[in-house]
Amino acid sequence: MINNLKWLLPGLKVKRWLFFATAGIIAIATGLAVIADIGIDFAVYLKESSSILLGLIAIIIGLLMVVVGLRKTVRSILSVIVPLNENKLVDTVFAKRNLKKGPKIVTIGGGTGLSVLLRGLKSYTSNITAIVTVSDDGGSSGRLRGELGILPPGDIRNCLVALADTETLMDDIFNYRFNEGAGLKGHNLGNLLLAAMTDISGDFNKATQELSRVLAIRGKVLPSTLSNVTLSAKLASGKIVRGETYVGKTSGNIEKVYLEPMDSEPLPEAVKAIMEADMIVLGPGSLYTSVIPNLLIKDLLTALKKTKAPVAYVCNVMTQPGETQGYTALQHLKAIEAHGARGLINYMIVNDAPILLEMLEKYEEKGATPVVVKEDLINRKGVEVVKASLVDQEDLVRHDSDKLARVVLQTIFRIKSNSEKVRLFDIYLNEKIKDLSD
């Protein structure tokens, strides 16, 4: 009660408009009373037609007063709460209401590839759960992991920024990297913020959720495990390579990768999201260091096998020197199956757009080539190939965020239309997805 009375304090610039709107309500009530002829004095000596006209005028004026009063009240409050974005508030509210009606999508991976997909998906749905690998041991993330004993924050940070409601100044802040300064050089500011929040909250996942609120992200970002895991690889030669950085740079053929400790547990929220999903998407990202490490968490893989949601794998456009040099799309699939995921993949999303000659030459210098897709061989393994133009070739050959998101949504629509009524988004999304069900 006392808090409500504070609205009457001077200087808020709210009372005048509330009173104005109240006067409008009184005018409407008076107009209705005149029309109903329930005892207003001046209705006695006015003709009936004049009374009706007077009542209508009072109602119209009252409605205008209410609209103006409420509008001015809201604008007065918003000018204080969101002084820079009050004009966008309606669009933001409208978008969030409709994005909540989008399909539930779980993405699994790491590195920069996963953030590319998330950046596209957030325009179509806010029901996104990103499950991110935490085996990184290089760069700023590796230094913080070694010095502070926290989980590597780099991939988590990338996903948080990708799902941020508006990627403007906060994007630049979270991705800012110090180029000088003892102890600071090479560190990413977003990584330091995650490290600080972990120290304050005492829990890496809590820190991630707190920063999620700061960035107002569309969806949820979860580490695949809270265990301090190390990624190792056994090469075809029998040699063991330890550490994600070394696994990614190895020149030998990788036979299998594994996590130490092997009994790491996933977050319950991650398992729940998988079981409730409309679709699971693995990748895009480095096969052995971003995608497969998540499948090595036993209970996470068990949930993926139990869920009724279809599982799609987004195959990389180009091979990676060392890690997947010379790999075809079929070899990517076989590598996933070799790590306990046989029969898991239902769809493989691949690029079918030609790579520019200058890009081919640029990548060939580094030993990378386009991933060859032999559709018939993949189909024989019970996996449907979904082909589309997916690449952005402005500076590097990478997936285009929006193109990839559209293909994922199109696949969901097609699957659902075979078994149940296709879920439709509201007006806000219709313009963006009008071609998805063509």
Q: What is the CATH number of the domain that holds 420?
A: 3.40.50.10680
Residue 64 is predicted with a pLDDT of 87
Residue 142 is predicted with a pLDDT of 83
Q: Is residue 212 part of a domain?
A: no
Q: Which of 48, 81, 114 finishes a domain?
A: 81
- Both 334 and 401 in one domain: the answer is yes
Q: Is residue 281 part of a domain?
A: yes
pTM for this one? 0.79
Q: Is residue 167 part of a domain?
A: no
Q: Which of 44, 59, 81 finishes a domain?
A: 81
Residue 364 is predicted with a pLDDT of 92
SS3 track for the chain:
CHHHHHHHCCCCCCHHHHHHHHHHHHHHHHHHHHHHCCCCCHHHHCCHHHHHHHHHHHHHHHHHHHHHHHHHHHHHHHHHHCCCCHHHHHHHHHHHHHHCCCCCEEEEECHHHHHHHHHHHCCCCCCEEEEECCCCCCHHHHHHHHHHCCCCCHHHHHHHHHHCCCCCHHHHHHHCECCCCCCCCCCEHHHHHHHHHHHHHCCHHHHHHHHHHHHCCCCEEEECCCCCCEEEEEECCCCEEECHHHHHHCCCCEEEEEEECCCCCCCHHHHHHHHHCCEEEECCCCHHHHHHHHHCCHHHHHHHHHCCCCEEEECCCECCCCCCCCCCHHHHHHHHHHHHHCCCCCEEEEECCCCCHHHHHHHHCCCCCECCCCHHHHHCCCCEEEEECCEECCCCCEECHHHHHHHHHHHHHHHHHHHCCCCCCCHHHHHHHCCCCC
- Both 22 and 104 in one domain: the answer is no
- Both 6 and 110 in one domain: the answer is no
Domain count, the chain: 2
Q: Is residue 71 part of a domain?
A: yes
- Both 8 and 128 in one domain: the answer is no
- Both 66 and 129 in one domain: the answer is no
Domain of residue 18, residue span: 2-81
Tens of pLDDT, residue by residue, the chain (438 residues): 555 555 555 555 666 777 877 888 888 888 787 777 644 444 444 445 666 677 788 788 878 888 887 787 777 666 655 544 545 555 555 556 667 888 999 999 997 899 999 999 998 899 999 999 999 988 888 888 888 889 999 899 999 999 987 656 667 777 788 887 777 777 888 889 888 999 998 899 999 998 888 888 889 999 999 999 999 999 999 999 999 999 988 887 899 999 999 999 999 999 999 999 999 999 899 999 999 999 999 999 999 999 999 999 999 999 999 889 999 999 999 999 999 999 999 999 999 999 999 999 999 998 899 999 999 999 999 999 999 999 998 888 899 999 999 999 989 888 876 544 444 443 334 455 444 444
Q: Is residue 70 part of a domain?
A: yes
